[in-house]
Structure formats: C-alpha cells, structure tokens
Structure 1
Amino acid sequence: MDFKKYKTFQVVADTLNLTRAADQLGYSQPTITLQLQSLESELGVTLFNRVGKKTFLTPAGKLVKGYIDQTFSLLDEMEQELRKLDSPHGLLTVAAPEFYCTQYLSLIIHSYITQNPQVKLQLFSCDSNEAMKKVASNEADLAIIAGPCDSPIMDSLPLGKEDLVLVTTQELYLAHDTATLLAQYPFITYKSGSNIQRLVNECLEEYGFVLDHCIECVSDETIKRTVLHHTGIALLGSALVEEELRKGTLAEIHRFPGIIETSMVILKNRLEEKNIHSFAEIVKRIWTEM
C-alpha cells in the first residue's frame, strides 16, 4: 500500500483543487495527477469527475475517502500512543500504610506529579499485607510496606530501617512501674497475621512479655491514638511516635533498634514499566533525604 498516493488523494479530496493540494503537499500538479491516475488504476475505479472548472468526488471516491480518513486517523492515534511510551503517562496506583501515606508519600507525590504531569496518581491507604496483595493482583502498581516481603514474584527494594519502641502515655509511665504496666494494661497491637505483627511478636518474646490482654487495630495510627487515650501500651515504629516522645505525651519503655525494614515492593515482571520505574526512582531519592 503506497501511503503517499492515498495521502495525495485525501488532500485533493479535501480541497477539490489541484493548485491548493499541490501547495499543501509540496508536489507539482503533474505529479499529483500521475499519483491519482495510478491510484485509480490500482483500485479499478474513477475517484474524481470534473464539470467545467470544478472537481467532484465520484461515489467511489466518497467511499474511498471515508476509509482513508479513518485509516489516517488511526495511524495518527497510533503515533500518539507510541510517543506516550517514551514518558510516564496514564494511571499509577500506590498502596501503603496510613502513616507512610501522610508522612512520606504526600511529599513524594507532589514531586512526582510536578515532573510527570501526564500521570494520574491513585493512593490506597491499607496495612502492609493488604498492600502486597494489591500489588500481586495488579490492583496497585507498587507498594510501600513495613516488614518483610517473602513473595517470589515481587522485588523488594529497601528504603530504610526503623526502631520499634514500646510506649505508653507519660502519665501511665510515671504512675506505674514497668511490670505493673505490662500486667494491668492491655497491649494495643496490629491484627493477627499482619506483616508487622510478626516483628512485634519477635520483640515481645525477646523482652519476655507474654500477651494476656490485647486490643487489635487495623492501622498503626489507630494504635497510637488509642495509646494516647491512656488505654494501654503498644510497640510502634519510632518514626510514628517520634514527635510524641519529643513532646513528652508518650514515654519510651523499651526500644528495639533497626527492627522494621521499610521496603518498596513491585512485581518483578513490571519493574521496567515507565510509570513504575520513574516513581520508584523518586521514592528512593526522596526517602533517603527525609
């Protein structure tokens, strides 16, 4: 298929004037006439009729024009879509625990969108286990999680390590010794089977603390707020309680250094996708600066 002949036909059919068509195409009128004659011979139909000085499309010419317009429109669309592949575009979905969403990703998203305005970002707030499930099912393109990722289909890119801190309110800490606190007040923690709960259990075992009375919560932010209402004690990431410890509203009972590893998880077969790769690069750069 000679696209040049069809493009010449389309321009002539649009203008119905060989002089204007020659100006648009940069061809001489004899060249245009030869191309049209060749196309008519190839298709076995007459495409144009002349009545006096006016040129008209024949019924066959109108039919061919309709298909040619559709064809070139599709080709233009294809070229546009191919150009999009050279830069991030479309939808990017990120899943992460609530604390990471509010404290880290809000800044990262602003930086990413400034550099990649063609990308529409969607953020899911959920616990680490749910975030990994969303990545595995392609509901999320990537996730930021706390704790280990053992999935063989995912790549885990470490972002940093964080202490786990056993905390309660300053008032409870001053009113009771540690043994009384641990014996009389509930332990506020993550729901059973969650990613971070495994780390919590390991730390409690190391500390020699046996859980008798627990309150399970769906997010670390909920755990912190429950503790702040003088409900009991909790083992939380140091970044989450840093401000409260500094202000004195929470008190540190014990610290387990470097227990939580924060990671970005991505399906191995999607690592090189433009949206994912570009976002991952910004996350790695900004996370280390914060």
Structure 2
Amino acid sequence: MEIRKLKTFQVVAEELNMTKAAKRLTYSQPTITLQIQSLEKELNHTLFTRVGKKTMLTTAGIKLKGHVDQLFTLMDKIEKEMEELRGPSGVLTIAASEYYCQRHLAKVVKEYTDVYPEVKVSLLPLNSIHAIQSVKDEVADIAVIASECDDIHIRKTFLEEERAYVVVSSTIGENRSFEDILRDHAFISYNEDCSFSTIIDHYFKSSGQHPRSTITVGGSDEMIKRAVLNGTGYAILGENVIKQEIANGSITILDQISEPIITSAINLKVRSEEPNIMTFCEFLRNRWDAGTGVVSRTR
C-alpha cells in the first residue's frame, strides 16, 4: 500500500466529499477516484458507499480509517523526533512578567539565539499566575515565575531567592513605630490575581497584623514603590526593586518577610527533554543575573 493512497483515503474519509477532499489535497477529482479505486482493489474491500446523496464509510472503511489515523500519528511522531535530534529549532514561547522580560530575558535570549539561530524566541508578557496557566495549556513552552507552583506535572528550575520587606517612605517612618504606621496609614496592595498576594496574605495572618485600610495600586513593583515614596502608605516589596532607595535612605524597612520570593523557570515534565526547552532552561540557570537593576515588575 502506498502512503500517498492512504493519505488520500484519510482525507476523503474525513471530508466524505470528493470536492472538498480534492481541494485539501490539491488533486483533481478523477485522480482521487482512481487512487481510492486502486486501494479498494488492493484490499479487496469497498471503502465507501452512497446512501442517497451522502457518502459514508463502509465497515471496512471505518476499520481502515482507525489504522490510517494511527499510522500518520506515528509518522508525525517519528518526523518530530528525527527533527529534534538535529538540535533546537522552530519557535520557543516564554511567558514572563515585563520585569523579567526586560531585566533578565532580553540578554539571555540574545545569547541563546546567537548559539541557536534556528530558534525563534517569542516573549509573552504575563504575571506569574497567568504564566503558569499558559504552560499548562501549552500556550507557552516555558514560564519564569515568582510564585508557588506545586503541580506534579510541572518541572521547576530554581533561578533566584529574593528577600521581601514591609517598607514605608522614610518621611513617614522616621521616629514612628510600626504599630503607629499600621494604625494611621493604608496598606498598598497588588491586584488579587497577582502571585505576590499569597506572600502578603501569609504575612498578615502569621504576624497577627491587619491593615487599617488597603489601596490596590496594580501588579507592578514600580507603581507600588512610587506610591510608597509619595507617602500613600506602606507596602511589601522585594529587595531587588528597592535596593537603591534603601541605600539612599528614602525608604525605611519596617519588617522582614519570613518567606522569600522564589524565582523559577517552569515547563511541563513530559516536555523536559525537548531540545528547545532543555537548552533554554540550561541557559537560564547559568546566566540568570540576580540582584541587579531596577525595572517595573508585574507579579
């Protein structure tokens, strides 16, 4: 049996319409008819029958369709695995916050594509919660997250551990106790769908402290930091984004959060050996530049 004839049969069996099948295959209808007749003669079975104006598969046709579908699925798998043996190629989609895209990934992607020019990298700006889902849905191949992810189907590659602090502008914090600040000022919060919300919730539950009021600013570290510096209230921020302000004395640390911010790269375990994913995760692990630069980050 020729593969060409089996492919023709598969398309005709899917369309059950010679005109549509001919269009998909870019064959003439007589060519398709001849191929189906030749296959039927070789198998000694009629594969299609007409009921009124409708074309239908016979019992033999239904059985053959099942085998042909399996055959072409296997052939696609063979082609994919042989392609992968040649090394990374095609499109690699990475989901990450704008902060990670700007601060880390731009440099890593440049180096990676210099080594693997056949890979086209696409960056997908998403906060950690949505980035995790994009990997699960296979919209993204890899995600860089600052969030918990305990899904058994997900593989994590550790990149960085960052301390987090409760902070306030030094103008407000000077000569005032933490309790006074909590009583008189609002807590500046991230959006509810932001991964940092978990760390914030854990902190207030474990510390026994409760904000007098909350102002939701958004998901960007830079926006939260600006609100703090403007005297809007106090907030919880990662160390990297406020290093400069701590050094110049414009921000005061009120408390340290016991839970660190863990940055990881994640991918589906079943895809870990794909060349694009495997090589890029290795690049990330070796080239992640922790603790430098201050760019707006969306958690």
Q: Any idea what SS the aligned residue of 2:124 has?
A: strand
Q: CA deviation at 1:257?
A: 4.8
Q: Any idea what SS the aligned residue of 2:167 has?
A: strand
Q: Percent identical across equivalent pairs? A: 31
Give 1:87-126 correspondences, 5 Å limit. 87-126=87-126
Cross-structure match for 2:179: 179
Residues 122 and 211 (structure 1), Cα distance of their counterparts in 2 relative to 1, 3 Å cut: same
Cross-structure match for 1:276: 277
Residues 289 and 249 (structure 1), Cα distance of their counterparts in 2 relative to 1, 3 Å cut: closer
Aligned partners of 2:167 and 2:234 also within 8 Å: yes
Aligned partners of 1:163 and 1:238 also within 8 Å: yes
Give 1:1-290 correspondences, 5 Å limit. 82=82, 85-174=85-174, 176-216=176-216, 217-257=218-258, 259-287=260-288
Aligned partners of 2:162 and 2:238 also within 8 Å: yes
CA distance in 2, matches of 1:289, 1:190: 23
CA distance in 2, matches of 1:135, 1:205: 31
Cross-structure match for 2:74: none
Q: CA deviation at 1:173?
A: 1.6
Amino acid at match of 1:243: Q
TM-score, with length taken from structure 1: 0.66
Q: CA deviation at 1:82?
A: 4.9
CA distance in 2, matches of 1:288, 1:102: 12
Q: Any idea what SS the aligned residue of 2:140 has?
A: coil
Aligned partners of 1:144 and 1:263 also within 8 Å: yes
Amino acid at match of 1:233: Y
C-alpha distance after superposition, 1:28-51 (max 9, x if no partner): xxxxxxxxxxxxxxxxxxxxxxxx
Cross-structure match for 2:38: none
CA distance in 1, matches of 2:177, 2:290: 38
CA distance in 2, matches of 1:89, 1:150: 30
Amino acid at match of 1:268: K
Amino acid at match of 2:245: E
Q: Any idea what SS the aligned residue of 1:262 has?
A: strand
Residues 95 and 198 (structure 1), Cα distance of their counterparts in 2 relative to 1, 3 Å cut: same
Q: Any idea what SS the aligned residue of 2:288 has?
A: helix
Q: CA deviation at 1:289?
A: 6.8
Aligned partners of 1:98 and 1:221 also within 8 Å: no
Q: CA deviation at 1:83?
A: 5.4
CA distance in 1, matches of 2:152, 2:214: 33
Aligned partners of 2:182 and 2:212 also within 8 Å: no
Aligned partners of 1:165 and 1:237 also within 8 Å: yes
Q: CA deviation at 1:114?
A: 1.8
Bigger shift: residues 270-279 or 171-180: 171-180
Equivalenced residues, count: 214
CA distance in 2, matches of 1:129, 1:221: 19
- What is the RMSD computed on CA atoms of the aligned residues? 2.6
Aligned partners of 1:168 and 1:232 also within 8 Å: yes
CA distance in 1, matches of 2:227, 2:91: 36
Bigger shift: residues 204-213 or 274-283: 204-213
Larger CA Rg, structure 1 vs 2? 1
Q: Any idea what SS the aligned residue of 1:124 has?
A: strand
Aligned partners of 1:95 and 1:140 also within 8 Å: yes
Aligned partners of 1:164 and 1:236 also within 8 Å: yes
Cross-structure match for 2:15: none
Residues 261 and 155 (structure 1), Cα distance of their counterparts in 2 relative to 1, 3 Å cut: same
Aligned partners of 1:93 and 1:141 also within 8 Å: yes
Unaligned stretches of 5+ residues in structure 2: 1-77, 292-299
Q: CA deviation at 1:190?
A: 2.1
Q: CA deviation at 1:112?
A: 1.3
C-alpha distance after superposition, 1:205-250 (max 9, x if no partner): 3333202311222233332232233211111111222222123232
Q: Any idea what SS the aligned residue of 1:150 has?
A: coil
C-alpha distance after superposition, 1:224-279 (max 9, x if no partner): 23223321111111122222212323221111255222211111111111111111
Q: CA deviation at 1:132?
A: 0.3
Aligned partners of 1:163 and 1:256 also within 8 Å: yes
